[in-house]
C-alpha cells in the first residue's frame, strides 16, 4: 500500500479514537498485576510497564515530524493525543510509585534527592506539566508563537525519560540503551532540520 493511500485511510480515523484506545494497555497491565502476570513483584512490574509505555508514546510523538518529512506519512493530527496519553501514563507511573510502591509520603523528598534516577524522572515529569496544560486550541491561540517554543520542552523531557530508564535498571542492559539511542537519533534529525529553517 502506498503512503498516499495510508494517509487517505488515516484521514478517516479521528484523533478522539486514540483517547478511547489509549488507556486500554493500562487496564491490561493492571489485570496482569492482579493475576500474577507481572512476576513476583507486581507493583514494581506495573510501575515499570506504565513508565515504559509512556516512553514509547513519547518516542512515537517525537517521530511524527521525521516520518512526515522522510517517508511522507502524515500523523500530525494525532500528535496532541499521543502527547496527552504519554502524560497520562507518566501520571499513572508516578501514582503507582507514590501510592503502591513508596507508601510513605515522608520519604518522597528524601527519595527524590537521594536517588538520581528519581530526580531525573521527576524533572522530566515537571517539564511535561506545562506541555499537557497547554495542549489545547485555546492555549495555541493565546500563546501564539510562544506556544511552539514552549513545546520544545518535549525534547529534554523525552531525553530525561530515557536517561531515567537507563539509570533505573541494574547494570548495562540493552533495552533501555536502545530506547536512548532511538531518542538521540530522532533528536539529531530535529536538530539537523533547525539550522535550515533558521537559514531560510
Domain ranges of the chain: 12-194
Distance CA 109, CA 8 (A): 50
Q: Are 185 and 138 in contact (CB under 8 A)?
A: no
**Intervals of the chain under pLDDT 70:** 1, 171, 192-200
pTM above 0.85, yes or no: yes
Identify which of 45, 136, 43 has the alpha carbon closest to the alpha carbon of residue 83: 136
Instruction: Give the model's pLDDT for residue 196.
Output: 47
Main-chain dihedrals φ then ψ at residue 105, nearest 5 degrees:
-65, -25
Q: At what angle do helices 154-168 and 42-71 cross, to 10 degrees?
A: 140
Instruction: Give the model's pLDDT for residue 197.
Output: 47
Instruction: Give the model's pLDDT for residue 2.
Output: 81
Q: Are 6 and 73 in contact (CB under 8 A)?
A: yes
Residue 169 DSSP class: S
Tell me the pLDDT tens digit for each residue of 95-152: 999 888 887 777 787 788 888 999 999 999 999 999 999 999 999 999 999 999 999 9
Amino acid at each position: 500500500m502506498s503512503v498516499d493511500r495510508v494517509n487517505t485511510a488515516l484521514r478517516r480515523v479521528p484523533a478522539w479514537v486514540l483517547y478511547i484506545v489509549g488507556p486500554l494497555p493500562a487496564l491490561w497491565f493492571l489485570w496482569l498485576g492482579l493475576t500474577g502476570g507481572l512476576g513476583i513483584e507486581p507493583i514494581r512490574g506495573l510501575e515499570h510497564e506504565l513508565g515504559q509505555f509512556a516512553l514509547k508514546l513519547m518516542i512515537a510523538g517525537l517521530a511524527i515530524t521525521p516520518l512526515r518529512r522522510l517517508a511522507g506519512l502524515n500523523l500530525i493530527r494525532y500528535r496532541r493525543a499521543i502527547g496527552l496519553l504519554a502524560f497520562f501514563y507518566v501520571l499513572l507511573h508516578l501514582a503507582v510509585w507514590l501510592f503502591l510502591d513508596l507508601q510513605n509520603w515522608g520519604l518522597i523528598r528524601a527519595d527524590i534527592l537521594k536517588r538520581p534516577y528519581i530526580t531525573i524522572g521527576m524533572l522530566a515529569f515537571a517539564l511535561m506539566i506545562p506541555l499537557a496544560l497547554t495542549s489545547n486550541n485555546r492555549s495555541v491561540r493565546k500563546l501564539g508563537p510562544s506556544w511552539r517554543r514552549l513545546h520544545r520542552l518535549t525534547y529534554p523531557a523525552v531525553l530525561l525519560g530515557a536517561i531515567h530508564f537507563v539509570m533505573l535498571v541494574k547494570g548495562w542492559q540493552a533495552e533501555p540503551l536502545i530506547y536512548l539511542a532511538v531518542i538521540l537519533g530522532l533528536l539529531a534529525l530535529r536538530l539537523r532540520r533547525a539550522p535550515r529553517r533558521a537559514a531560510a
